[in-house]
Amino acid sequence: MARRKVILLPKGKRILSELGENIKLARLRRKLSATQVAERANMSRPTLSGIEKGSESISIGSYLLVLQVLGLEKDLLNVAKDDILGRKIQDAGLIVKKRAPKKN
């Protein structure tokens, strides 16, 4: 099966780039080399480099492994924790269908 290329909008690329930069800064603050983190996360050095650059082709599981090595894995629990838009929709009482209608 061929791999599909991930295509992100510029805003998504900036978000991943910032995440990668934050991971790199966390590694440097802990005075860990890239080789040490890569070995502890059981990944190659180029994969870690891709994470630190915010590569969209690397799985979220790999990002999680690096965050675990750095002791930051619980930060992922904050993603979508305070869903402001979802709460506004809920408060407005709008009905959101669970499924799209069947097409004939």
Cβ neighbours of residue 57 closer than 8 Å, sequence gap 6 or more? 5, 6, 50
pLDDT at 85: 85
pLDDT at 54: 95
pLDDT at 98: 73
Range of the domain at 58: 10-79
pLDDT at 7: 83
pLDDT at 97: 66
Asked whether residue 63 is domain-assigned, the answer is yes
pLDDT tens for each residue of 31-53: 999 999 999 999 999 999 999 99
Asked whether residue 48 is domain-assigned, the answer is yes
Asked whether residue 18 is domain-assigned, the answer is yes
Asked whether residue 86 is domain-assigned, the answer is no
Report which secondary-structure segment, H or E, holds 81: none
pLDDT tens for each residue of 55-92: 999 999 999 999 999 999 999 888 888 888 888 887 88
- CA 81/CA 9 separation, integer angstroms: 23
Report the domain count for the chain: 1
Asked whether residue 26 is domain-assigned, the answer is yes
Asked whether residue 103 is domain-assigned, the answer is no
pLDDT at 94: 62
Asked whether residue 74 is domain-assigned, the answer is yes
Residue 56 sits in a domain whose CATH number is: 1.10.260.40
Which band of pLDDT confidence, cut at 50, 70 and 90, is reported for residue 95? low
Asked whether residue 56 is domain-assigned, the answer is yes
